[in-house]
C-alpha cells in the first residue's frame, strides 16, 4: 500500500481514480444527503485532498467532492499547462461524470478560491452557492509580507516536513503560532506535491484576476477570512465583499488555515449557509 493510499484509508473519504477526457484525477467523495446539492471544493496550492479531510468529516450530512489538481497528490501531471478556465471545465465534467446533473455548491480555499470564482462565473446555472475561504480576486491583490510570499512560492514545505514545521507559524499564523501539535498533524497529512505540479499551479494564476466580472456573480456568497493571515490580509476579503453583489463577509479570529485547524465550527457555518433559503 502506498503512503497516499494508506492516508486515504484513515479518512471518511471514498478515494478513487477517475478519467476525465484523458486526464486522470484522484478524487475524494464524502457521502451525504441526496436532498441537497453536493459541495465541490477546490483545494489550496500544492495541497492533496487528505488535507481537507478534517473539514469534510465535520460537514455532517452534506455530500462533498474534492480532487487533487493535475500534478498534485495522486493526480498525474497534465500534458500541457492549464488555466483556471481549464480547471473549472475539468471540475464541471468530473461532477457530471459522478452523476451530479443538477446544481452544485462550490467552495475554494486560498489558491482554490480563484478556481471557485472562475467556476461560478463560467457555469452560473450550475453553481448555486459560493463559499470563498482565505482567498483573493487573483493577481490584483494586497499581498502578504515578502518573506512569507517567498516561502510560499516553493513546494519545499510539501516535500520537507522539517521545513514545514519550521515555517508553519510564520506563513499560516493563527492557531499554528500557539499549538505545535497542529503543525505535526498538518505535516503528517501532506502528500505528493512536485516542483513541476506546483509550478503549473503558480502559472495557472499568472495574470488571472476576477475583478472585471465579480459584479456579475449572482450566487449567494459566503466569504470567510482570518484576521491573522500572513498570506492574504483581510483587505482582500473586503474587496471580494464589495464586488460580489450577494456576498456576506465573516471574519475569523485565526490564521490562513482555520478550516483545517478548527474545522467543526466552520463546517457548521458552511452547512448553515448552504441550508439558507
List active site positions.
Answer: 110
Q: State the DSSP string of the chain.
A: --HHHHHHHTSS-EEEEEEETTEEEEEEEE---TTS--EEEEPPTT--GGGGHHHHHTSTT--EEEEPPTTSTTSPPPSS---HHHHHHHHHHHHHHTT--S-EEEEEETHHHHHHHHHHHH-TTTEEEEEEES--SBSSS----HHHHHHHTSTHHHH-HHHHHHHHHHHH-GGGGT-HHHHHHHHHH-----HHHHHHHHHHTTT-B-TTTGGG--S-EEEEEETT-SSS-HHHHHHHHHHSTTEEEEEESS-TTHHHHSHHHHHHHHHHHHH--
CB 263 within 8 A of CB 58: yes
- Between CA 187 and CA 163 the distance in angstroms is 10
Looking up cell 516553493, which residue turns up?
154
Amino acid at each position: 500500500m502506498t503512503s497516499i493510499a494508506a492516508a486515504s484509508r484513515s479518512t471518511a473519504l471514498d478515494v478513487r481514480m477517475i478519467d476525465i477526457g484523458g486526464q486522470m484525477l484522484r478524487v475524494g467523495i464524502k457521502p451525504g444527503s441526496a436532498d441537497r446539492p453536493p459541495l465541490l471544493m477546490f483545494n489550496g496550492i500544492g495541497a492533496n485532498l487528505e488535507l481537507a479531510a478534517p473539514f469534510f468529516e465535520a460537514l455532517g450530512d452534506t455530500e462533498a467532492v474534492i480532487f487533487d489538481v493535475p500534478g498534485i497528490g495522486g493526480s498525474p501531471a497534465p500534458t500541457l499547462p492549464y488555466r483556471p478556465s481549464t480547471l473549472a471545465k475539468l471540475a464541471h465534467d468530473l461532477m457530471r461524470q459522478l452523476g451530479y446533473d443538477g446544481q452544485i455548491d462550490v467552495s475554494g480555499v486560498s489558491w482554490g478560491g480563484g478556481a471557485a470564482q472562475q467556476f461560478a462565473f463560467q457555469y452560473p446555472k450550475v453553481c448555486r452557492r459560493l463559499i470563498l475561504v482565505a482567498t483573493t480576486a487573483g493577481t490584483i491583490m494586497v499581498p502578504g509580507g515578502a518573506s512569507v510570499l517567498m516561502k510560499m512560492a516553493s513546494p519545499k514545505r510539501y516535500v520537507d516536513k522539517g521545513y514545514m514545521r519550521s515555517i508553519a507559524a510564520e506563513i499560516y499564523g493563527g492557531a499554528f503560532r500557539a499549538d505545535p501539535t497542529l503543525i505535526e498533524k498538518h505535516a503528517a497529512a501532506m502528500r505528493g506535491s512536485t516542483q513541476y505540479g506546483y509550478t503549473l499551479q503558480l502559472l495557472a494564476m499568472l495574470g488571472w484576476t476576477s475583478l472585471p466580472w465579480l459584479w456579475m456573480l449572482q450566487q449567494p456568497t459566503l466569504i470567510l477570512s482570518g484576521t491573522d493571515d500572513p498570506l492574504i490580509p483581510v483587505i482582500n476579503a473586503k474587496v471580494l465583499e464589495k464586488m460580489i453583489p450577494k456576498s456576506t463577509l465573516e471574519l475569523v479570529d485565526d490564521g490562513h488555515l482555520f478550516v483545517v485547524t478548527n474545522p467543526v465550527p466552520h463546517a457548521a457555518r458552511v452547512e448553515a449557509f448552504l441550508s439558507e433559503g
